Structure 1
């Protein structure tokens, strides 16, 4: 006897429309998240050291404000050495040194965007100082030379800084990959934590070897850089695992939503955090993508910069993820214990029903003499 297969019922039109609208909304959110920072960013509040005679400093600051209103935030420096120190500890992105030997100091390792901006200042400053010198009686044939110096240049293996910038997104994606894979493929909170721990250690060493040993993108100590990569990956993946262990598989959405759509666009990997609408530039540094990118840049090129904050950020997110996994583990254990406690009682009621519907004489038959 043959069986006739019944074709599945067609999808209701209402559901089709809901799916279409939902997918369109998701695409719109993704486009908005990734395009918003670049379309709203502008040159503003860039920290710039300036040193020299008070009269010259005042004139130059007014001239820079007039040519680019709101673009710079001026930081006073005692002399050229102090200005260089401020650049190297990442207080500023560059400097203008006035006096007998005027000079513009830049730092391509801090940002290629700001390096180009500060480089364009040199000819304007030279014209301004030359004009002032002529007004003070200096012969018109003499020109005030303004020297241009890149204090912290990029490595020859990454002269445009594109490799360091491009490394930011794979770190976010790599952390999400480990967290999602462990959350969806592995059962048990501690097993998930163990899996991502092994993953990030191996991935950190491998990515460090590729970015530093192969491509030459990273500079400095290989093992310190690998540790920074490892902790950044762990901060993202452990958080995904922790939330998933606590609330279930829906918690895995924390990766795409929090880290990809929110944290990554405001990580300031491609531009100074000051250029983003505030306070989002600062907010981005409290998330693993932003802190991890800043940490790798500072470890590679700015050994004098303070790195305590980004280390604490990635370590804090890692600890949060493990803590959430621990809470989820114990909550799951309590649920299992409750079920196990209820099973014997349920089995007893099934074997010896306390309230039977049978008549009494059927349950306790009388003895016949």
Structure 2
């Protein structure tokens, strides 16, 4: 069969080169987005509680700051009990208790890498305390060296035996983000009608929350705490990711699908602080990540699992705001055109016409 006159038989070379360069640029952005937080990660202003005599506290703060400048922001508390409360409410990642019986408190459930950092601090503290004791004994002319003083390390909020390295809890976030994104995109493509999409997102989120909580908690043991709270948290996170996608599709058409891969996956997910504390991400991006669904979901699921005393108001509000915002966009898009017709509904009709013509 001969081609009609004037019909191009090949893609123009300019378009080929342009597409290749654009795809290479997208690849570079993806690599940069996912590798940048890990490559640039280093601790800064980690909140650590400290208790003890004023002179000892000042000396310990100076010694730690000399070893790791800017890594730790000490928060002075009254005693060991206050330090434990600060850890359990997630106001601090750990604590140093000074005095007659020095001790270092950690929380592997809050951050395993910070717990390891505090283990190093405990070793340095033990060396310093014994060196001071030996120097004082020598100055006093004591015939023998004082007994060696150990500085114990206590894990106040440990990880569960079913997830001793915390890898399950960390790994659970990516399927959650991917699930919310895929759900929003699939609903946008398959379901016609903004309000029907809202219904689909709500049903998908509730069922998905129940199913994922059952797998992650009941099967894998990655989540701890109350199953129904975990289910609600996952459901709200799915809705917070899926609803904005369907909302923007209702408002501007199929181009709104880009909200998922661009905003949620490439931008928000790398700065979510799911694998590292937000203090390891260059400022201000660690804090910025907590205002997006991936970061809020990561914080909420960790606190629901291990920190029942922590205030979870902020992550709940962030997730609810994104979910409600997406639903409102769908409502606006529904009434934006006469009769509630949406731009992508027209696109779907065009697709159907194209298929009929192709079949004919």
| TM-score normalised over the length of structure 2 | 0.91
Is the aligned partner of 1:100 residue 2:100?
A: yes
Give 1:125-144 correspondences, 5 Å limit.
Answer: 125-137=125-137, 139-144=144-149
Residue of 191, 194, 198 corresponding to 1:186: 191
Question: How far does residue 72 in structure 1 lie from its aligned partner after superposition?
Answer: 0.5
Instruction: Choose 1 or 2 for highest CA Rg.
Output: 1
Distance 1:260 1:213 in 2: 27
1:177 to 162, 168, 182: 182
1:155 and 2:155 correspond: no
Match 2:264 to one of 234, 259, 263 = 259
Aligned to 2:346: none
CA distance in 2, matches of 1:84, 1:235: 33
1:221 aligned residue (211, 226, 229): 226
Q: Residue in 2 aligned with 1:365?
A: none
1:18 corresponds to 2:18:
yes
Matched, 1:319 2:342: no
Aligned-pair CA distance for 1:332: 2.9
Which structure 2 segments of 5+ residues have no match? 343-360
CA distance in 1, matches of 2:170, 2:79: 32
Is the 2:122–2:153 contact (alpha carbons within 8 Å) kept by the matching residues of 1? yes
Counterpart Cα distance in 1 of 2:338 and 2:192: 13
Structure-1 separation of matches of 2:61 and 2:200: 55
Partners of 1:190 and 1:335 lie apart in 2 by 10
Matched, 1:332 2:330: no
Give the CA RMSD over aligned residues: 1.5
Please say which of residues 41-50 and 266-275 is displaced more in the overlay.
Answer: 41-50
Partner of residue 40, structure 1: 40
SS of residue paired to 1:120: helix
Aligned residue pair count: 335
Distance (Å, rounded) in 2 between the aligned partners of 1:55 and 1:199: 58
2:303 paired with 1:288: no
Aligned residue number for residue 61 of structure 1: 61
CA contact (8 A) 2:240 2:322 kept: yes
CA distance in 1, matches of 2:129, 2:54: 14
CA distance in 2, matches of 1:333, 1:273: 46
Unpaired runs of 5+ residues, structure 1, are: 338-369
What CA distance in whole angstroms lies between the structure 2 residues aligned with 1:336 and 1:39? Answer: 47
2: distance between equivalents of 1:60 and 1:22?
A: 53
- Summarize deviations over 1:26-84 as a string: whole Å, max 9, x none: 10111111111111111211111110011111111111011111110000010000000
